[in-house]
Structures are given as structure tokens and as C-alpha cells.
Structure 1
Amino acid sequence: MLSKEQKAFNRLSKRIGKLETEIGDFRTAADKLRQRVQQEYRPLQQQHNDLRAEFARLLDRAHDTYKLTKPERKKLVDLLLNGFFDLPNRGYTDLEAIFDKYDPPLTGEEAAAAEAANAAADAQEAELMKGFFRAQFGIEFDPEADLSTPEKLQEYVHQQLAEQQEVYEQQEAVAEERRAKRKKTPKQQAAADKKKAEEQNITQSVRTLYMDLVKHLHPDREPDEAEKLRKTELLKRVTTAYKANELLTLLRLQLELNRIDQQHLENLAEAQLRHYNTLLRQQVRELEQQQALEQQELSAFTGKPYYYIISPIAMELDFQHMKAGLTAKVQRLATDVERCGQDPAALKEFLKAYKIPKAGAGPLLMRF
């Protein structure tokens, strides 16, 4: 019957193997997804934006040449300004003149009024933020400090928080020094000695495995060149695992090289297993952190929550869905451009179906 530590060793070993497989599969799928986005999705996006730019130019020409009613012209201008406003920043700089035509720059007086309104809003927001930081972090604001912009306010707050952190760390260092000088009780000293001995035993356990493999694999003792090359590569794996404290990798290599067998692992002493399990738990935590990091990096790339595309199958389905949706938009927009560019009646029909969004409804980029 397996002991508690042996069961824990087996459970942790399986968990590490499962995590390594999941991380490897996820990384492979994520790399493939990034490649497909560049090769398949980005060209579609470019095609979509080219069509949007063509439609914007079409609307401008239609405004000047088609016989449109006043409500139709109003819809056309609203669609142009709100549905395609991002295109100049995407490289279609020729459209800037069109947007200026329907939404001319502010006059000097209007610009001054807008600037004054923005300054008043910034000042009001700054007071609210100062109140928040004063209440939450005890920050007192110097009346002479320049807080005229949100960036300067943020910089001031960061500086104050950094100073608070520095004071806290100094106080903690002093307290820690006092605690270190304070004589430990026999119980505390015994616990500290036990922890130190355990850490030394764990280090020694890994080092023993490492040295056994190094002696076995040392390439300088191998006369055959092919075998020497094989041992050199294996020794690199051993050294990498040792530096990373990957106990299970070292044990696997021992099994692979017949340095130990499965029965040896099953008959390890409880004390030895306890040291091994401490390292395995640490490796599980590190792998779980690595897995979360991989998912977060892909989430930053796709813009989707990390849990939304957590598996290779989910990645593939999500990509297919996104690609199909964008392909449909490109096809629909190409049809609209062709019809509305050739037939004023088609544009009138298009504008009839278009509804001017209510205030606060957001941009129309999802549709166009």
C-alpha cells in the first residue's frame, strides 16, 4: 500500500506532466493562431478598410452630384463622419480633406471656448481625484505643486506613494533588524533549524541527482563521436533542469538512462519523498504561473478575455468565427460600394435603411 508521501509524489508528478503538456499544446496553438492572424486575417482587415475608404469617397461624391433630399444628406454626412472617422489614422490621409469639408476645424473663438471648457472639466476632475487620494492614501497636496494636467497630478501621486513606500520599507527594515537581534525561544529556534535543514536536504537531493547524471553523461569520456554528441545534448538538458530546480525532469532523465527504475521511485524513504514533494509543489506553482502568463499574453494579442480562448480547440473556433464574420462584412461592403456607386436609387435605399444613432450610441465601426 502506498504511503501518504508516495501518493503525493505520484499525484504531483501527474499534475506536472499534465501542465507541461497543456502549456506545450497551448503555446503551439497560440503560435499557429498568431501566424494565421498575420497571414489570413490581417489581409482581410486591409481589404475591409480599403473598401471603407472607397465608400467614404463615394459618399462625398454622391453628396455633391446625386439629387438627395435634405434628410438624406443629413444621414449621409452623419454616416460619413461617424462611420469612417478612424480611416485617416489608418493611413488614408486623403480623407482628411473630406472630413474637414463636412466637419470644419473650430474657429479661433470656438477653439478657445472648447479649451476653457476642457480646462474647467479637468480642474473639477482633479479636485475629485485629490479628494480620493487624500481619503484612501492620506496624501496631502502641496498648494505650490503644479497639478495643472491629469498627467502632472498622476506623476505627483506616484511620487508621494513612492515616498510612502520608501518610509514603510525603512520602518520594516528597522523592525526586521530588531526581530533578528531578539533572542528566539527554544521552539522558534527549533523551527528555524528544521526549516534550514530541510532546505539544505532539498538542495542536496537535487544536487545528488545532478551529479549522478553529470558523471554518467560526461562527454569527454566518450570515444564515439555520435554518442559524444548525444551525451552533450543530454547534459545540456540536465544542466537546464538543475538550474531550474526541475526535480521531476532529472528523475525522468535517470529513468530514461536506466540510472534508476520505477521500483526505485516506489521504494524511496519517506524523508526523501518529503523533500522531493516540496520541490514538486514548487514546480507545480511555477508551471501554473507560466500557464497563466501564456494565456494573458495571448489575451493581450487577441483582445479577448484569457478564459475565452483557453484551449487550442477554442482558439480555432474563435478564429474561424472572427474570420467568417469579417469575410461576410467585406463581401457585403463590396456589394454596397458597387451598387451605390453606380445607382443613385441604390444609395437612397441604403440611406433609407440607415438610422442616425442616438447620442452616446458609440461609433459605427462594428458595422462599417
Structure 2
Amino acid sequence: MAKKTAAPKPQLVHIQSPSADDAPLSKAQKEFNRLTKRIAKLEKDVQEFREAATRLRQRVQNEYRPLQTQHNAVRADLVRLFDRALETYKLTKGERRKIVDLLLDGCYDLVERGHPDLQPIFDKHAPPPASAEEEVEEERQTSEAMKKLFAMRFGIVFDPAVDVSTQEKFRAYVDEKMAAQQVEYEAAQQGQEARRATRKKSPKQQAAEAKKLAEEQRITKSVRSLYMDLVKALHPDLEPDEAEKARKTALLQQVTAAYEANELLTLLRLQLELEHIDQSHLENLAEDQLRHYNKLLREQASDLDDALYEEQQELSGFTGQPYYALTTPAAMEYDFKRQTTKLQAKIKQLAAEVLAFEHDPAALKAWLKAYRMPRAGHGPIMIQL
């Protein structure tokens, strides 16, 4: 099998430390080196994270999803066994109550997970529907709880004369109040902006704004100068050799993308690769030029930080894990193996229990004796068999 060729490392953009006889690096030069090093690491981290996240998604689809299907099939077998047990086994009232609780709270999701044939079983053992009076009282209690929540979180004052006894009425009232709050907030913001606009700026503020504008213009000019230098060198129209023309076209696309994204380090790398600048050029950059470059490099590092965080958040939405739990390829691999092993063990145990309960009612009774029903009033009941 042919050995994979390693991807070429990006050109190192670094101001070399001087010899003992020369002056030490300046503060701006040291920051330049620190930033270029940090950006190179962040680029590597983002790339490795994206590749690992793609592999993880593929493995979840190809390896973990079939296990979930298998697990749900065994759970469906348990539902059918529970139904038969309720019909044929000699069970106490407490044992029956536990089985019904497990059916309705622990397995009802199976209808939406490929087992719609179980719906009649759930319907058969579901409690009778609430009376009209009970439904009205439940709606009232829910409305009171929601009123307290919205009053505490959003400062909404509920008019006692307004009817919010149903979800529809409650939602309409809250929407109206929130819209009124938004109008008041926007009016206040516009008033503040109008006052700020009419307020005369001090000479110090005017000087600071002028300095900031001039600095931004110098930065833009510096980056554009790098860009135009590369465009002139790489323009493919006058290149007679087709292979070289294709190479220059690809490089020019890189240059344009880097310029539009304000990726200074990428432009400097390309200049080094094309030998349009060398180490002496970097070492002799003027201090004000370095400060402009460092500002852009800080922005580039910040953008990469944001990109990595967005990738982590996106993966978190896919896995259900906190974003900080899967920040490296090694962590993804470890968690996938852990989750897979856990699910395989659960399938094996549940299949053994179904087999035992089917042939030995005493085994089911012993299992039910050890099972403790969740107490009401302690948060949402979430059972997963």
C-alpha cells in the first residue's frame, strides 16, 4: 500500500532572534512572532477539529445509529413482553403500576423510532382522559406558574382582569406585552443615539477619532500593497505555459480569498514562498509598520478563535455533549468508544432480561421489586430502558 504524502507545512513567518552582538527584538517584533505562531497553531487546530468532527459524524451514522436501532428493537420486545405479562402473569397492584409506568414513561418514544405497531399497547394501558373540570384546573395551575416565571424573568405585570387561563390566551397576552416592551426599548435607544449625535465632541475625542481613522487607512494601504504585489506576480493571462498558468490561477485565488478575509499572515506566507520578501525584509520592518501588522494579526487570531468555537458548538448540537467536552480528536475518539461500549452493554443486558422475563415470571417480579418508581414533583421524569 502506497504511503500517504504528508501535507506541506505552511511557510514559517517569523522574525529570527538576533545574535549576541545585535540588539534584542523589540516589543513589536516579539508580538509579531507570538501572533504568527498562535495563528499557525489555531489554523492547525481548526483543520484537525473539522476533519475529526467529520470522521465522528460518519462513524455515528455507520456504527452508532445501527446500534440505536438494535437497542430500540430490544426495547420494543420488552414492551410486548410487559403487555403479555399484564395479561397473563399473576402480578400485584404495585407490580402492575410499575410496569404501566415503565411502558408510558420509559418506552413511549418507540412509536416515533420505527415501532408504530406499539401504539395500541400504549393506548390500552394509558390512564383515562381527564374530565373537563380537571383539564380546566390543570390549565389554571399551569397559567399561574407561567405568570410567575414571566414576571420574574421579563418583568411582565399581568393584569388580574385579563383572562390568561388557556395557553393560547396566555401566549397572546405575553406577545402583546413583549412587543410593547420592545417598542419602549427601541424608543429609548433612539433617544440615546440622538442625544449622542447632537453632543459636541471634545478636541481630545476628535483627535482620537482622526488618529484611529488614519491608522485604519494605513493598515488597509499596507495590506493592499501586499495584495497588489502578489497579483502582479501571479497574474496568469500572460503566462504561455498551461501548467504554470493553472498553478498561478490557483495561487491567485488563494491571494484574493486571503485579502478579502484580511488574512495578513497568509499573504506574507505567499510572499515568502514566491521569494518576494525574505527574512531580512521581516527583520527590517519599521516599528509603525509592525504595529499595523500586529493589529491585523490579532484580528486574524480572534477570527480563528471564533471559527474553532463555532465548530465546537456545531458538534455539540450534533452529539448532545457540552462543547468543551469534545475539543480534541482524542476526546472525540474516547467519547465515541465509551458511548458505543455503553450502548452495546445495555443492548446485551436488556436482551438477556427480556429472555429471562419471558420464561420465568419470578425473574420479572424480582426485577420489579428492585425497581423504584420516580417520585412526582422532583422535576421531569426521564426513564431510558
Q: Compute the TM-score of the two structures, normalised by the length of structure 2.
A: 0.86
Could you tell me how far 1:289 is from its partner in structure 2? 1.3
Which residues in structure 2 correspond to 1:90-109 (within 5 Å)? 90-106=113-129
What is the aligned partner in structure 1 of residue 275 from structure 2? 258
**Post-superposition offset of 1:84:** 1.5
Q: Distance in 2 between matches of 1:207 and 1:146?
A: 64
Q: CA deviation at 1:132?
A: 3.1
Given the superposition, is the C-alpha separation of residues 74 and 190 from structure 1 closer, same or farther in structure 2, using an over 3 Å criterion? closer
**Could you tell me how far 1:288 is from its partner in structure 2?**
1.1
TM-aligned CA deviation for residue 143 of structure 1: 7.9
Judging changes above 3 Å, is the alpha-carbon distance between structure 1 residues 120 and 142 closer, same or farther for their aligned structure 2 residues? closer
1:203 deviates by 0.2
Quote the RMSD (CA, aligned, Å): 2.3
> Could you tell me how far apart the structure 1 residues matched to 2:372 and 2:163 are?
46
- Partners of 2:178 and 2:266 lie apart in 1 by 44
Q: 1 CA distance for matches of 2:181 and 2:274? A: 55
Deviation sequence 1:321-349 (CA, Å, 0-9, x none): 11100000011111112222233343334
Paired position in structure 2 for 1:115: 135
- SS of 2:267's partner is helix
The count of corresponding residues between Structure 1 and Structure 2 is 358
Quick one: which amino acid aligns to residue 198 of structure 1? E
Alpha-carbon contact 1:146-1:152 (below 8 Å) kept: no
In 1, distance between residues paired with 2:364 and 2:158? 59
> Is the contact made by 2:227 and 2:267 (CA closer than 8 Å) also made in structure 1?
yes
Describe the shift of the 1:141–1:55 C-alpha distance in structure 2 as closer, same or farther (beyond 3 A).
closer
Task: Name the SS of the counterpart of 2:324 in structure 1.
Answer: coil
State the shift of 1:126 in Å. 4.5
| 2:322 is the alignment partner of 1:269 | no
Out of 76, 80, 87, the residue aligned to residue 57 of structure 1 is: 80
| Structure-2 residue corresponding to 1:237 | 254
Contact 2:234 2:248 in 1 (8 A): yes
Aligned in 2, Cα 1:60/1:222: closer, same or farther, shift over 3 Å? same
How big is each residue's C-alpha offset from its partner over 1:103-162, in whole Å with a ceiling of 9 and x where there is no partner? Answer: 2431xxx331232122211332354246436xx65x666788775534324422431232
Counterpart residue number, 1:298: 315
* Residue of structure 2 in register with 1:81 after alignment: 104
Give the unaligned 5+ runs of structure 1: none
Where does the alignment leave 5 or more consecutive residues of structure 2 unmatched? 1-23
Shift of 1:364: 5.7
| Residue 34 (structure 1) shift | 1.2
Question: Is the 8 Å Cα contact of residues 126 and 153 (structure 1) preserved in structure 2?
Answer: no
Cα separation, partners in 2 of 1:238 and 1:118, compared to 1, 3 Å: same
Tell me which of 20, 25, 44 is aligned to 2:67: 44
Task: Show the counterpart of 1:12.
Answer: 35
1:174 is aligned, of 188, 194, 215, to: 194
| Secondary structure, aligned partner of 2:325 | coil
Residues 265-292 of structure 1, C-alpha deviations (whole Å, 9 max, x = no match)? 1210001101101111111111111111
Answer yes or no: is the 8 Å Cα contact 1:16–1:283 preserved in 2: yes
Pair 80,285 (structure 1): closer, same or farther in 2 beyond 3 Å: same
Matched, 1:279 2:265: no
Deviation at residue 178 of structure 1 after TM alignment: 0.7
Percent identical among aligned pairs is: 54
Look up the match of 1:365.
383
The yes-or-no answer on 1:198 pairing with 2:215 is yes
Q: Give the aligned residue type for 1:245.
A: N
